[in-house]
Amino acid sequence: MRILLILIIIAAVFVVVQAQRHGCKYDATLISCVFGGADVGGSPAAETPAAETPAEAPAEAPAQ
C-alpha cells in the first residue's frame, strides 16, 4: 500500500513539474500537454509572441 502511495505522489510531482516546464494550462488538455509538449495540442498558459528585432539600418557609406 505504501508503494502505491509513493508511486502516486511521484506521478503527481512529475505532472506538475512537466506542466510548469511546458507552460500547460490546468484544464482538460493537461495530460496531453504534459506528455506531448505544448506543441501537440496542449494549450500553453502564457502565449507570448516572439519579440521581433527591428531590421538594422544599412551602414552608410563613408563620405569621401
Domain assignment of residue 20, yes or no: yes
Q: Report whether 41 contacts 32 (CB < 8 A).
A: yes
pLDDT digits (tens, 9 = 90+) for 13-24: 998 998 888 888
Domain assignment of residue 36, yes or no: yes
Grid cell 502511495 — which residue? 5
Domain assignment of residue 61, yes or no: no
pLDDT digits (tens, 9 = 90+) for 36-49: 765 555 455 555 55
pLDDT for res 57: 58
Domain assignment of residue 52, yes or no: no
Domain assignment of residue 10, yes or no: yes
Domain assignment of residue 9, yes or no: yes
User: How many structural domains does the chain have?
Assistant: 1
pLDDT for res 23: 85
pTM: 0.51
- Residue 20: which domain range? 2-40
State the first-to-last Cα distance of the chain, in angstroms, to the nearest integer. 86
